[in-house]
Structure 1
Amino acid sequence: MSRFSLLAVAILLEVLGTLSLRAMDGLAQPWWLVGVVAGYAGAFVGVARVLQLGMPVGVAYGIWAACGVALASVGGALLFGDRLTPPVVAGIGLVVAGVLVVEFGARTRVSGGG
């Protein structure tokens, strides 16, 4: 499995954990705790493996966090009726744009003149 495929799985697991946490409704529905624990544990194992495979931590964490925020926001809107207001959508866009800057910056070589 490629680093980006593994990172995508880790992102989806983190979103599963986050949405399960929301679905728990406090402790009123504790069976969702299985999704919380499995989602977050799987996500951390996946990101750890991505880092072992050589992806820079700033890139891996940036992509993971940005995609997690975006997908959890959309999932919250679809599943729980959370509002996606224009400022929220703009914020998600800024987070994604920031990750792209980090990603492309990590690929740029800076010549060490001197």
Structure 2
Amino acid sequence: MWFWLAGAIVAEVTGTVALRFSEGFSRLLPSLIVVLGYGIAFYSLSRALAGGMPIGVAYGVWAAVGVALIAIIGAVFLKEPLTWVQIGGIVLVIAGVLALELGRTPHAA
């Protein structure tokens, strides 16, 4: 399950970065990477869910890690500003996902 979720995150982040370079889908290669990235992301997420991962946890982890990675990539590689308030927001999103995961009721074996 976690393998598929990690793949979904990597594919979604790749697609989102390519979206930045697609210039409104006017550039072919970045546009193809966007479509392929999101397609692989949703397929991988569906495999994680089919493997029994709860949807709230899967989507929460996917969103939180994706947001954090995109913000870091934007700041480090694309020279986009990242304020302390934004960093605090990312920390809160990650904390919320941790609360979802830690608050799960264990399944009876």
TM-score (norm 1): 0.87
Unpaired stretches in structure 1, ≥5 consecutive residues = 110-114
- Please provide the CA RMSD for this pair: 1.4
Quote the Cα distance in structure 1 between the aligned partners of 2:69 and 2:105: 25
Equivalent of residue 55 in structure 1, options 53, 56, 62: 53
- One-letter amino acid matched to 2:85: P
Equivalent of residue 66 in structure 1, options 64, 67, 75: 64
Residue in structure 2 matched with residue 46 of structure 1 by the alignment: 44
Unpaired stretches in structure 2, ≥5 consecutive residues = none
In the TM superposition, what whole-angstrom CA distance separates every residue of 1:60-110 from its partner, at most 9, and x where no partner exists? 00000000100011111222211111011101000000000001111458x
- % same residue: 45
Quote the Cα distance in structure 2 between the aligned partners of 1:81 and 1:70: 15
Quote the Cα distance in structure 2 between the aligned partners of 1:75 and 1:34: 20
- Within-5 A mapping of 1:1-114: 3-107=1-105
TM-score (norm 2): 0.91
4+ aligned runs moved over 4 Å, structure 1: none
Greater CA radius of gyration, 1 or 2?
A: 1
